[in-house]
Amino acid sequence: MASKSNGDPAGLQSFFSDLVRCETRLYNALNDRLRERHGIVTSQFEALRYLRDHPGSRVADLAAEFAVGIGATSKGVDRLEQRGWVVRRPNPADRRSSLLALTDDGTRLADAAEATVTGALADLVADTLDGSPGEATRQVLATLRSLLERGQIGMPTG
């Protein structure tokens, strides 16, 4: 994906480096808060929230949403199931797959963890995203994500 407005490779590499390092640090900060307050990590929270908001999803749906392999996603769901937060139910439309649902405990955990994540993000980034530079940043990232997803770029193979 070449830059149409700026052919500066160092600028593109710097953007990539900043983007990845910010993501890593935010993800780690959320991991710390979630682990401390709820005994889960960010990836577990994201899966719980997705299943809460998309009832009847399959492992493949989670894998596609988070651009993660199906095997790794299935193992993650196994761990959520072992903790009593998720159940697998037969898929009436396809005997080869299961539909996932949160248990009542899983729903309560997703809701409580969401409040923790919202508070942490407010502490960590809200001031940075205020005003027109913040809006421009959100728009750039939303556009980039949309282009990558539309082209199925960065999806795991196998």
Mean pLDDT of 15-26: 93
Backbone angles phi, psi at 99, to 5 degrees: -100, 140
Domains of the chain: 26-150 (1.10.10.10)
pLDDT of residue 81: 97
Lookup result for tokens 């649902």: 101
Please tell me which residue, 1 or 24, carries the higher pLDDT value: 24
82 CB-side CA count, 13 A? 7
**Reduced to 3 states, what is the DSSP secondary structure of residue 96?**
coil
pLDDT in tens, 22-72: 999 999 999 999 999 999 999 999 999 999 999 999 999 999 999 999 999
Alpha carbon distance, N-terminus to C-terminus of the chain: 23
Torsion of CA 138, 114, 46, 34, to 10 degrees: 110
